[in-house]
Structure 1
Amino acid sequence: MNMAIIEINNISKRYRNADTNAVEDVSFSLEKGEILALVGESGSGKTTLLRLIAGLEHPDSGIIQLGGEVIVSGRKSLPANKRKTGMVFQDYALFPHLTIFENVAFGLKGLNKKEVEQRVHDTINLTGLKEDVKKYPHQLSGGQQQRVALARALAPRPELLLMDEPFSNLDTILRDQVREEVRQIIKAMGITAILVTHDTKDAFSTADKIAVMLNGKLLQIDTPDALYNDPNSSYVAELFGKSNNVVATVEPGGFKTPFGFVSGPKDCPLSVNKDKVNLFFRAEETDFCNAEEPHLCGMVEQCMYLGDHMQLKVCCNRCTSCANDCEKGALEDTQRILLRSAVQTWKPGDIVRFKLKNFKVKETDSEELF
C-alpha cells in the first residue's frame, strides 16, 4: 500500500469581513504520482485551498501533512520556502532578465555548480527545451514559456507540484498539446501534483482524480470516469456535460416516467423506500428505435447542430401518434430531456422513440442532490 504524499484533514479558512468560509472542512489525500484537479467556478475556494497547501495562506483550522510530516496544525505553519513543493503560477512568473537556464536554476539551493548544471540540463531535456537554454522568456512562445515554468518548479525535485490555472493563457490548439505534454512530464518524474482549473477539459485530460468544489465545500472527489458517469449531485453532473435527470415513480419491475415505462436494470435495487426517484443518464446513453420495440417517446421541441452530432430537446407531450401507451401514464409535470443523434433530419414536432442503454437510479428529497 502506497503512503499518502499529501493529506488534508478538515481544513477551513475564512477571510476577514467575509460572511462565509472560503474553504470549509475539506479533507482528502493523494498517493505518490497521482495528479488531482481542483475544479469549480470562480469563488468556489479552489485557489484558496491551493494557497493554503503552498503556505501562502494559513488556515483557521485543520491539519496538512506532506510526505508524512505535519506542515500545518493549529498555529504551527512551516514557511512556504521550507515546504517541499513546486509552484507554477497562472502567468508563469518567469524572470524576464534571466535566460531559460538561469530561470530553471533559480530555485536550486545547496548544490554545487556542477550539480546545478546537471540538474538543470536533466530537467530541461525532459521538458524538450534543450535548444532554448540561452534564450530569454520573451523569445519563446506561450507553450514554451509554460514548459519553462514547469521545469523551474520541477528542478528542485519537490514532493508536491502545485499549478494554478496553468493552461489558461494558451489558445485552444496549443492548450490541447501542452496539457498532454505536462501530464507526460509529471508522470515521467513520478511527482504528485495538484492543479487548479475552471476548465473541465483540463481536468479530464490531465488528472487521475478530480475534486469538485462549490462555496468552499468539497462536493465530490473521484476519478474522471466516476464523476462523469456517477455524479453525486446535479451540480457535479452538469459541470461535466449535459445530463438528464428524470423524475419517475417506482413500480414493480421498473419505473414509470413521463416518457414511458423503464425496466429496472439487473444490478438496481428496486426495493427502494420511496415513491419517486430520479433516473440519471447522459444524452449519449440512449438509442433510437422503432414503434415495434419497447420504447420511450416524446416530441422534438428544439434541434441544435453541434458538428459531429445533433442535440435534440425532447418534451413529454403524451404523444397520441405513438404506439406506446405513455400518454396514459405520464406524470403531471412536463419534463424535457436531451438526446444525441448522428443524423440531421430531425425537426421540431417530430416524434422520437428511444430506449435507455444505461442509467443510474438516484434517491433524494433534495432539490440540489439527486
Structure 2
Amino acid sequence: MADLLKVENIRCSDAEWPIRKPLSLRLKEGEIGVILALGRPIADTLLRAIQGQVGLDAGRIVLAGDPIAGGGTGISSVGRNCRLVPADGALVPHLSVAQNIQLVMRGLNKRQRQEQLDQLLDEVDLLHAADLLADHLPAEERQRTALARALVAQPQLLLWQEPFAPYPEGEQMALVDEIEQILQARRLTCLITTANVRAGMALAQRLGVCDDERLLQWDSPERLYHCPAQRDVARATGNGVFLQGFVQPDNSLSSELGGLRFSQDNDWIRTGRPIEFLLRPEHVRFEKRGLRCATITSKRFLGGYIDYRLLLEEGSVIPVTAPSQIDLALGKKFCFRVDMPHLMVFRPDKEEPVDLGRAYSIG
C-alpha cells in the first residue's frame, strides 16, 4: 500500500512549540498513526503544520503524492484534503451542535444538508444532542461535534489531538473500538497525538514517541515496545526497569536475575564493562522451582492478573505481572525464571541499545 502522508525533515520555528530538529515520518493509506507526546507537545505542532496552520522553515510535506508544504509549495489549510480535530473542539459556543456542523457544509440544498447532518450525528452518536448549545456540552460531546465537523469535508487524512482526554479511564478502551469503526467505515487515514499510552498503543498501526525536541522513534507498536530505540522510548511505552549486568564471553549475562543466555553475538559488548538492560513485567515468569526467588513487597489484584513488586536479594525492585491464579501473600517468596523475546542492552556511553535476541534463565 502506498504512502498517503510523507513528512520529510521538517522544521518549524514560528510556533508555540517549535520543531527545531528535523522530523520525518510516513503513514500509509488507511493506517492509523499515533504519536505519544512527552513533555512539550511538538507533536501538536506537527499536526498544525500538516493542516497548514504553521509554516515550515525546512523540509516538506506530501499528501497523496502532492507536495502541500515546503520546497516552494504552499497550499492553504482550506485547500488541503485533511482536517484537524482540535483538543478543545474549537466550536462556536452560542450555536447548537447541529448549527456548528452545518457551518462547514457547502454546496448542498436544504434536504441534502439535513440528510448529511443526520448521518453525521448518527455516526458520532450525537442524535440526542443536536439542539444543545455547544457551550452546554460535556467535553466528550464537544469533541464528537468537532469530529463530525471534520468529517463533513470527507478528508483523505484526519488529524486528531487528544481523543481520549475527555473520557474517564473506564471508557477509553471502548473509544478505541469506536474510533476504529468510524475510520474503517470511511477508509480514512488518521494521525493522532495523545499522552494516553494504553489506548494509543491499542489503536495504533504506526506508533511514535515524541519528547520536547524530536520524534524519538516511529515504527510498529510491537517494535517500539519490544525494541525501543532509546531509554525514553522504553519508559514511555510501558512498565519496566533498567538493571545492571555484565556480559560474559560465552554469550551470557550475569545480573541480579542470575545468569541469562542470549542468542545473538555482538562485538562491542565483550569489553567487560557494565551495561544496562530492559526488563518488562511479562519477562518474569512464575515457576514454583524457579532458579531465582524474590520477596513480594506489594501486590495489586487487577482481575485477570496480579501486579506484583518483587525485591531482589541485591536490592532492586522489579515489576511482575502474573495470572490471578498465582495469588501469593505479601512477604512470601516469588520464584521465577526469565524469558524475554529481545534482550535490549544499553551501554553507558550510548543512547541507542543493541538487541541481543531472545534471552532466558540459565543455572
The TM-score with structure 1 as length reference comes to 0.82
Q: 1:280 aligns with which of 271, 278, 281?
A: 278
Task: Summarize deviations over 1:202-241 as a string: whole Å, max 9, x none.
Answer: 3123322211112321111122232222222221111122
Aligned residues of 1:91 and 1:169 also touching (Cα < 8 A): no
Q: Could you say which residue in structure 1 is the equivalent of 2:12?
A: 13
* TM-superposed deviation, 1:114: 4.1
Equivalent of 2:254, from 253, 256, 259?
256
Q: 1:21 to 1:88 in 2, by over 3 A?
A: closer
Kindly indicate whether the alpha-carbon contact (under 8 Å) linking 1:280 and 1:362 is maintained by their aligned counterparts in 2: yes
User: What 5-or-longer segments of structure 2 have no aligned partner?
Assistant: 354-363
> Helix, strand or coil for the counterpart of 1:360?
coil
2:66 counterpart residue number: 69
Distance change (3 Å), C-alpha of 1:134 and 1:305: closer
Measure how far apart 1:337 and its partner are. 2.9
Distance in 2 separating the partners of 1:55 and 1:213: 20
Residues 35-54 of structure 1 correspond to what in structure 2 (within 5 A)? 35-54=32-51
Deviation, 1:52, is 1.0
Corresponding letter in the other structure for 1:263: R
Question: What is the distance in 1 between the residues matched to 2:84 and 2:247?
Answer: 51
* Distance (whole Å) between structure 2 residues aligned to residue 96 and residue 164 of structure 1: 20
Aligned counterpart in structure 2 of residue 151 of structure 1, from 133, 148, 152: 148
2:166 to 164, 169, 184: 169
1:152-231 → structure 2 map (5 Å cutoff):
152-231=149-228
Asked if the contact 1:13–1:22 (Cα under 8 Å) also holds between the matched residues in 2, the reply is yes
Residue 93 in 1 paired to residue 90 in 2? yes
SS in structure 1 opposite 2:8? strand
User: Does the CA-based 8 Å contact 1:212-1:218 persist in structure 2?
Assistant: yes
Which among 303, 318, 332 is matched to residue 337 of structure 1? 318
% identical aligned pairs:
22
2:359 is aligned with 1:362:
no
Cα 1:336–1:175 change in 2 (3 A) is closer
Q: Distance in 1 between matches of 2:142 and 2:174?
A: 14
Deviations 1:279-321 (A, max 9, x none): 4331122212244x5x234x4373243544242232343xxxx
* Residue 24 of structure 2 is aligned to residue 27 of structure 1: yes
Q: CA RMSD in A?
A: 2.8
SS state at 2:269 partner = coil
- AA partner of residue 8 (structure 1): V
Q: Summarize deviations over 1:83-136 as a string: whole Å, max 9, x none.
A: 112121112122233333222222223444444333333322322333443443
Q: How does 1:98-113 map to 2 (within 5 A)?
A: 98-113=95-110
- The residue that corresponds to 1:296 in the other structure is 292
**Cα pair 1:259 1:316 within 8 Å, conserved:** no
Q: State the distance in 2 between where 1:346 and 1:132 align.
A: 50
Q: Is the 8 A contact 1:53 1:64 kept in 2?
A: yes
- Alignment TM-score, normalising by the size of structure 2: 0.83
How many residues are matched? 344
Q: Does 1:126 align with 2:135?
A: no
Return 5+ residue gaps in structure 1 as ranges: 318-333
| Residue pair 1:314, 1:339 contacting (<8 A) in 2 also | no
Q: Distance in 2 between matches of 1:357 and 1:185?
A: 39
Kept after mapping to 2: 8 A contact 1:280/1:360:
no
- Tell me if structure 1 keeps the 8 A contact 2:277–2:346: no
Q: Distance in 1 between matches of 2:47 and 2:81?
A: 14
